[in-house]
Amino acid sequence: MPRTPYPITGTVKDVDGSTTFYPGSIKIYDVTLGESISGSIASDGSFSVDIANLTSSYSNGDALQVVIYNSRSTKSTEFRHIVNTGLPGYEAGTLYMHWTKPLLGTATVIGGVMSNKSTGALTVDFYDRKYDDKKLSCDVPATNTIPIPMLFKGVEFEEGICIIRESDAANSVEVQLVVK
């Protein structure tokens, strides 16, 4: 039996609030089912992902977390939605991207630590806000705290640092930086 469609739709604007956001990806987590489905942002900034395509069937009252991000995960936006099967889907309207976990201002890293509270190894990526490029990627062992690697000391970030945690939703990794 085919599942009833339930598209999640909307439009995305970049951090300036007016530029069409493209390219990008969208990921919808059905928190109730413990499953996710992915999609892409169209060239006009629109998206449409149908949760009827999840492996399991969604139900009325399922909690959804919707995350949209650019290809380098330095910009993102997200929202939550509770499935209402009395409706034909959900129109999120216009969403606006923001820099992910920014530390504002030009900064040079002089030290810091990363703590992983989960039972699996996780990764933390550090991006330069101005150029939107990855400066360093660090693996943090399970249930462990490690210092910022020496090769990272003295690295300068223009217009701030974007810190991307592999498991942001669970707040599994804490990052503390010392900058000058």
Answer yes or no: are the C-beta atoms of 40 and 25 closer than 8 Å: yes
Phi, psi of 42 (to 5 degrees): -75, 165
Which CATH number covers residue 171?
2.60.40
Structural domain for 45, as ranges: 7-99
3-class state of residue 177 by DSSP: strand
3-class state of residue 152 by DSSP: helix
Answer yes or no: are the C-beta atoms of 94 and 11 closer than 8 Å: yes
Same domain flag for 94 and 106 = no
What does each of the 180 residues of the chain score in pLDDT, given as a tens digit? 468 999 999 999 987 788 899 888 999 999 899 999 999 999 999 999 999 999 999 999 999 989 898 876 667 888 889 999 999 999 999 998 876 655 557 888 888 888 888 888 888 888 787 777 788 888 889 899 999 888 788 888 887 777 777 655 456 778 888 888
Answer yes or no: are the C-beta atoms of 122 and 140 closer than 8 Å: yes
